[in-house]
Amino acid sequence: LQWLQVPYSSGIMRFLWKITEPVLAPIRQVLPPLMGLDLSPIVAFFLLRLLSGAVLTLIAWVF
Max Cα distance, the chain (Å):
48
The Cα–Cα gap between 11 and 44 comes to: 23
Residue 5 has pLDDT above 90, yes or no: no
Contacts of 8 (CB under 8 A, 6+ apart): 14, 17
- pLDDT band for position 1 (50/70/90)? low
Residue 27's nearest CA partner among 10, 3, 44 is 44
Q: pLDDT tens, 16-27?
A: 989 999 999 999
Whole-structure pTM value: 0.75
Domain boundaries, the chain: 11-62
36 and 20 Cβ atoms separated by less than 8 Å: no
